[in-house]
Structure 1
């Protein structure tokens, strides 16, 4: 059950807003580094109604979290916002649109700037994968986070992620850094006999998201495996979309076909991390998303498969760690708040 704590004394705060396809989640982080909301504090995001309505919904989520925590508006120094990507480093949604944002008015919309104007406060923008990656990094490393690096892969409808260096998000010149799902990975040995090169919604073939995502299961993996095993119960489902959503539960239960699908996904992430090892050589690799929010045994099994398929040099394996993203439902809002806190000048009162 969600609980909140009031800000103590005259501490300043930042607010984190995680904007999703169905809900906004909000949190408050005070100047001492304490989160004042222990769980989800959600409200409808209304993104399908277009940006004007959605920005108003974000403003309402902001007001609500201040009411719930008893924080005066004057104590807020900055607001962190995350949304699904792709978007620019300054929070302008891609001209081709963005995940969950189906209204054409979202294309090229400056969501960060619109919220900043609506609230009258500085707004720091990141995509949702980057925000979750930042939270995972700081939970794992604590006070040492500012001297460590990490790479995160977040498996959902697509494959998000983030690269953290010296405790800060690497966003890139155009804001597109950390789009790990669209990195091409080797497919030899990953695909089954006669399995077609998987395609991604972005137009690429053979990228990590084409395998390691719910979309990848529906579009590429499940059709192949059901064609080889037409007697499987999933073959009787009315649509591939319905069947794909059932794969995780079957994987938890140990179903061989489902486990084969998830091993392909884990292999894809392992190969992605192998590329990261030779590119950034991070201190830690994090895996998050619905696939690891399942039962503890299945989440650990999946992480073990990722580790097994990540090729590190002996020197790297001695110092690198692998872990699951914690508190994933809250990771976006909390990561957004951490990014906002980093933007507040030292010595602020």
Structure 2
């Protein structure tokens, strides 16, 4: 429960079906230990979804016994694509498919509804920020990291000195659409993978659930025509393949080796572009049996090419507490915003 009189920030993780909420004190203590979910109502349109987010905040405060007057700011994350200020893409998205969502300012609408400052990140950036701060602790503000979150698509984030790099248009950290070399990654006769965004050979076309259904599984089933997954509808088979991977199935391990190789090549790009202290992997692919997720992370590491000096200081790790990482990440972002100091004066006239 909350400590009497200690101000807090609230983190709200908005998803296609549920909102998850957490509460973080200004002295850095999370007051919610696990998931605190309610329906997100996003399919009912923006008005219903904003009200659901407000209810999620009220529920978190009731759960922790924190008076509303102690809330100083709110962190919000949603699935992308969206701008750095929380404006949903003009084309909508998988979760925000109704026309009313296109170009909708979800951050601004929630801020008006709550009467509190709202800080926004997409869900990949939020998870990346949480992983960074949990792993580095007291040293977080002096460290850098890159995180790849494997889900329906491929999200992620780049963190430098404890802060998410947003970019000029808010598109930094869209790691799924980084092109990677395919030589040596594809099997004999395997078509070049295509992404729903229109790219060919980006990371998401391989390392995502959509990539499995669209590109990887159709190929590997031609190599294993008698495999039990061949009798399943492709969309269902794509969701089942991880279970086979956990049991050491040859088709599944070949498929996930390709995903791990793709992430390794992405991290090789990151090594030569940002040279981070840590590389994090999260998402459904690592929500698996320990042997499988350890094998997968080791395979990613094997296919990440680092210089000797980089290998001596870099680490590879899994994103912790994935179900809570989004809400906790944006709560950290809200707390960072409260602690921010004005920019220094220019060094040159």
TM-score, normalisation: structure 2: 0.97
Which of 240, 247, 251 lines up with 2:241 in the alignment? 247
Count of residues in correspondence between the two structures: 341
Aligned-pair CA distance for 1:24 = 0.3
Q: State the distance in 1 between where 2:79 and 2:200 align.
A: 22
Aligned-pair CA distance for 1:105 = 1.0
Which of 281, 284, 287 lines up with 1:290 in the alignment? 284
Partner of 1:275: 269
Gaps of 5+ in 1: 1-5
Aligned-pair CA distance for 1:313 = 0.3
1:211-269 deviation per Cα after TM superposition (whole angstroms, max 9, x unaligned):
000000000000011112111110011x1001000000000010010000000000000
Aligned-pair CA distance for 1:346 = 6.3
Q: State the distance in 2 between where 1:346 and 1:56 align.
A: 29
Q: State the distance in 2 between where 1:293 and 1:243 align.
A: 17
Q: State the distance in 2 between where 1:233 and 1:346 align.
A: 55
Map residues 182-201 of structure 1 onto 2, 5 A cutoff: 182-201=177-196
Q: State the distance in 1 between where 2:39 and 2:246 align.
A: 30
Is residue 324 of structure 2 the alignment partner of residue 325 of structure 1? Answer: no
Partner of 1:310: 304
Which of 217, 226, 240 lines up with 2:212 in the alignment? 217
Map residues 50-69 of structure 1 onto 2, 5 A cutoff: 50-69=45-64
Aligned-pair CA distance for 1:99 = 3.2
Aligned-pair CA distance for 1:345 = 3.5
TM-score, normalisation: structure 1: 0.97
Q: State the distance in 1 between where 2:200 and 2:340 align.
A: 46
Aligned-pair CA distance for 1:173 = 1.2
Partner of 2:258: 264
Partner of 1:139: 134
Q: State the distance in 1 between where 2:9 and 2:168 align.
A: 25
Map residues 119-134 of structure 1 onto 2, 5 A cutoff: 119-134=114-129
1:150-174 deviation per Cα after TM superposition (whole angstroms, max 9, x unaligned):
0000000000000000000001111
Q: State the distance in 2 between where 1:345 and 1:268 align.
A: 38
State whether residues 87 and 98 of structure 1, in contact with CA within 8 Å, keep that contact through their aligned partners in structure 2.
no
User: How big is the alpha-carbon RMSD for the aligned residues of Structure 1 and Structure 2?
Assistant: 0.9
Is residue 77 of structure 2 the alignment partner of residue 73 of structure 1? Answer: no
SS of 1:65's equivalent in the other structure is helix
